[in-house]
Amino acid sequence: MIERTLAILKPDCVRKRLTGEVIARIEKAGFKILGMKKVKLTKETAGGFYAVHKGKPFYDGLVEFMSSGPCVPIALEKENAITDFRALIGATDPKEAVPGTVRKLFADNKGENIVHGSDSPENGKIEVAYFFSDRELVELG
């Protein structure tokens, strides 16, 4: 089934100048990029996006980190996008990630782990809509 997922190249990815490398890996894995932009999240915007985690011990640090510098949200589409993207990026903790995955290769730790990926088809739709209007998404055919 064709699914949409949201990738966010996080501030550590941008700071390390790895955006091109990570985007190339995403495209080589067969994902279609429907929309992409560089943004600097405010604490309010980051907090709204991660509202599902509000009250958890890592929430404040996550919001602080995600608003610490520019990031690159990317709307992606592919057959089985959620599962395939999560396999491409690897486990949240790079120490537990499979060799060759984005996080194993480039992430420093569980908190600064280079990239976000949606965890379900439903959240993929919600998360893409958080950053992109329908008119900003370009179908490639």
Contact 85/31 with Cβ under 8 angstroms? yes
Q: What is the mean pLDDT of the chain?
A: 96
Q: Mean pLDDT, to the nearest integer, of 71-75?
A: 98
Q: Mean pLDDT, to the nearest integer, of 41-67?
A: 95
Active site residues: 116
pLDDT for 24: 98
d(CA 141, CA 139): 6
Angle value at C-alpha 98, between 93 and 102, nearest 5 degrees = 70
* Residue 105's pLDDT band (cuts 50, 70, 90): very high
pLDDT at 133 exceeding the cut of 90: yes
What percentage of the chain carries pLDDT values higher than 90? 96
Nearest to 17 by CA among 131, 109, 106: 106
Nearest to 75 by CA among 113, 114, 36: 36
* Residue 139's pLDDT band (cuts 50, 70, 90): confident
pLDDT for 1: 86
Range of weakest confidence among 36-40, 78-82, 137-141 = 137-141
pLDDT for 141: 59
Q: Which structural domains are found in the chain, ordered by start? A: 2-40+71-133 (3.30.70.141)
pLDDT at 140 exceeding the cut of 80: no
